[in-house]
Amino acid sequence: MAVSDPLKIVATGLDTLPEPEVLGFLKDYLNKEEVETIVVGDPLNLDGSPGKIAPLVNKFVAQLKKQFPASSVILRDERFTSEDAKKIILQSGAKKKKRRDKALVDKVSAVLILQDYLEEIRNSNLI
């Protein structure tokens, strides 16, 4: 998971959680913080068709919309984010063990997905 600053300029890694803990975490988080939009990675294949886990992600998005109606929920293409995250971790000088840490790769991927969204809305003057 990742969050942005109030001005919607910078995305920062928040946490990586097992799937069963995500909704509870978000409920607590949204009770403390104002969240305008929840951005969820959209698992697309290289050709743009829905990936294998797309039905699970769509079910999760439906749960988010139901539990958090005050926040909009959008899907964002997550193709290549894991590979980009691994490259960033490698460039940071992390040791081999750290580069293989799935939680870290997921956290950096979340930052990349959110940052891409923030840049798009900033460039579209939608803020």
Report domain extents, the chain.
2-123
For residue 113, which amino acid is it? Answer: I
Q: How far is CA 125 from the centre of its chain?
A: 21
With a cut of 50, which residues of the chain have pLDDT below it? none
pTM of structure: 0.89
- Alpha carbon 120 to its chain's center: 15
Q: Which positions ≥6 away from 68 have C-beta within 8 Å?
A: 26, 30, 35, 38
Crossing angle of helices 81-91 and 102-123, rounded to 10° = 110
What is 2-123's CATH number?
A: 3.30.420.140
Q: What is the pLDDT of residue 102?
A: 87
Supply the pLDDT for residue 126: 54
Contact 8, 116 (CB under 8 A): no
